[in-house]
Amino acid sequence: MRAWSEACPRRLVVFFDEIDALRGQSMISVLRQLRAGFPARPDHAPWSVVLCGLRDVREYKTASGGDGARLGTASPFNVKVESLRLDTLTPAQVEELLVQHTAETGQPFEPEAIARVAELSGGHPWLVNALAREVVDKLKVQGGISAAHVDEAKQRWCSRGPPTSTPWCTS
């Protein structure tokens, strides 16, 4: 990232998607490198870094084996300025999202299917989209989408060995 920052004619912003897929020493190494590069910004390190994942950056220390009791500050790694969290969707918002699919494609989600997606996903936007994508793009359901289609999508998803943080595969 140093060479990239030095070569880039503009300030570099780096997004790490699914950063929380890293565990243990890998996560600690990335966070240490980010912290070490912070004082060298913007010429020798990224101006800004976005860590995208299911957990807040404050939880990474605990997930990496650190002492969770020492997370009293907003920035345990001195890299965090702000943490944004996309709230979980209410059942009505899950329905609204799936109705958008129907409006665009003409393919309806039956009310029971919408309720099942909301139940399985817990309203987490990423999980809502993952389940819907599995039904529409992978199962290639023609016509209306039923709760049985959603359950089949869940089973297919779980059989591929998803992350243990996916709640519907542990229940």
Residue range 85-131, pLDDT digits in tens: 778 899 999 999 999 999 999 999 999 999 999 999 999 888 899 89
Closest CA to 53 of 81, 18, 14, 11: 18
Counting residues of the chain whose pLDDT is more than 70, the rounded percentage is: 77
Other residues' Cβ atoms within 10 Å of the Cβ of residue 56? 14
Residue 36 pLDDT > 90: no
Provide the pLDDT confidence category of residue 66 given band limits of 50, 70 and 90: low
Gyration radius of the chain's alpha carbons: 20
Q: What is the mean pLDDT of residues 118-147?
A: 92
Counting residues of the chain whose pLDDT is more than 90, the rounded percentage is: 42
Residue 61, CB-side half-sphere exposure with 13 Å CA sphere = 17
Considering the domain delimited by 91-170, tell me its CATH architecture. Answer: Orthogonal Bundle (1.10)
Residue span(s) of the chain under CATH 1.10.8 come to: 91-170
Mean pLDDT (the chain, rounded): 82
Residue 72 pLDDT > 60: no
Provide the whole-model pTM. Answer: 0.60
